[in-house]
Chains A and B, each alone.
Chain A
């Protein structure tokens, strides 16, 4: 399973040609600054698409604000009187913006995508087995403890601990990326995946217990 698209980091200042006026236009531009025509989404990474430098630390409020603003600018209502080609461009932009936002908004997908941009395949994006005995041991013990938890309180306790671990993990992942230690970032991202899965299971088990 691949998470995100096959994007490579490309120079952000690169120029393309506007399909409408043939003038030069930035690869990041949604609209041509000369003629105003909506541009096709070009091969740029998700960070560039939403106006960020690639990095794990992201201002999530700003990310959402930009995403919503960009989406509004390509909303179909604005293109009702435009040509079919303009409408198609706007639609494609909307799809690309959506994919970029979905990828960057989730720390797990963001980490996996960032590893990919840096030329690494994230373990969580591979059909391979984990080679991290400590992590597997921890995951097995956690799942066993969950299987044995017989009360909502006991499950809640496990969930709270896992939730706190997941938050701590985010700052560890951030540090690993800041230090450009991609091996560590990759390992920690896999850990985050396991914690997420565990949290999902605690919710499922709670629902199962409460429905009796």
Chain B
């Protein structure tokens, strides 16, 4: 089957490739992998003072669908609050890119990467709050 235009576009012109400073307190890093393919995906978010995601970057070593899924995920999370970003479902990513059934797990990977990045950011904030309270 032919891949969708959206998928090819995100694969050929991936958005937001790169890294943010992992040790920055306002940056959350999600690192996930799909054991069935040996893929690895890193998605990072930078949260602004207003609580919205002001920047997002990704680095994915995997197939075209995994790259497109994470590229789309970084586009979608930008400007969202953490609660909103958490609501992004893999099915929406899969639908937008018209992923074939065998590539659905790539969109699951992207959803998990967003969640992992948010969790990492929140964990950091908790540690920071704990220190501030002392």
Contacts from A to B (Cβ < 8 Å): 1, 123-130, 132-133, 135-137, 139-140, 143-144, 147, 190, 193-194, 196-198, 201
CA–CA, A127 and B103, complex, Å: 10
Q: A140-B61, A143-B61 are in contact. Are A130 and B105 (CB under 8 A)?
A: no
Of the candidates A125, A136, A190, the one whose C-beta lies within 8 Å of that of B32 is A136
- Any A CB within 8 A of the CB of B8: no
**Chain B 94-134 near chain A by CB (<8 Å), digits 1 or 0:** 00000000101100110010000000000000000000000
CA–CA, A180 and B37, complex, Å: 26
Q: How far is the CB of B9 from chain A (nearest CB, A)?
A: 22
Of the candidates B33, B36, B109, B112, the one whose C-beta lies within 8 Å of that of A1 is B36
Of the candidates A135, A137, A140, the one whose C-beta lies within 8 Å of that of B59 is A140
Contacts from B to A (Cβ < 8 Å): 31-40, 42, 59, 61, 102, 104-105, 108-109, 112
B33-A129 in contact (CB<8A): yes
Of the candidates B32, B36, B39, B59, the one whose C-beta lies within 8 Å of that of A126 is B36
Q: How far is the CB of A124 from chain B (nearest CB, A)?
A: 5
A194-B33 in contact (CB<8A): yes
A139-B33 in contact (CB<8A): yes
Most buried by A among B35, B42, B61: B35
Q: A129-B108, A140-B61, A143-B61 are in contact. Are A124 and B40 (CB under 8 A)?
A: no
Of the candidates B31, B38, B112, the one whose C-beta lies within 8 Å of that of A194 is B38
Instruction: Write the chain B residue with the least CB distance to A192.
Output: B38
15 contacts between A and B (CB under 8 A): A127-B34, A127-B108, A129-B32, A130-B34, A130-B35, A136-B33, A136-B40, A137-B31, A139-B33, A139-B38, A140-B61, A193-B35, A197-B37, A198-B38, A201-B61
